[in-house]
Copies of this chain bind each other. A is one copy, B any other.
Amino acid sequence: MSTDVFGALANPVRRRLLEGLRAGPRSTGDLAGMFELGRPAVSEHLAVLRSAGLVREEPRGRHRFYHLEAAPLAEVDDWLHPFERYWNQRLRALSELLDEETP
Seen from chain A, the residues whose Cβ lies within 8 Å of a Cβ on chain B are 4, 6-7, 9-10, 12, 15, 18-19, 22, 68, 70-74, 76-77, 79-80, 82-84, 86-88
Contacts and interface: CB of A to CB of B under 8 A. Distances in A.
Contacts of A72: 87
Contact of A84 (B9, B10, B77, B79): B77
Contacts of A6: 6, 9-10, 12, 15
B22 A83 contact: yes
A9 B15 CA distance: 14
Contacts of A77: 80, 84
Nearest to A89: B71
16 contacts: A4-B10, A4-B12, A6-B6, A6-B9, A6-B15, A10-B10, A18-B83, A68-B83, A68-B86, A70-B83, A70-B86, A71-B87, A73-B80, A73-B87, A76-B76, A77-B84
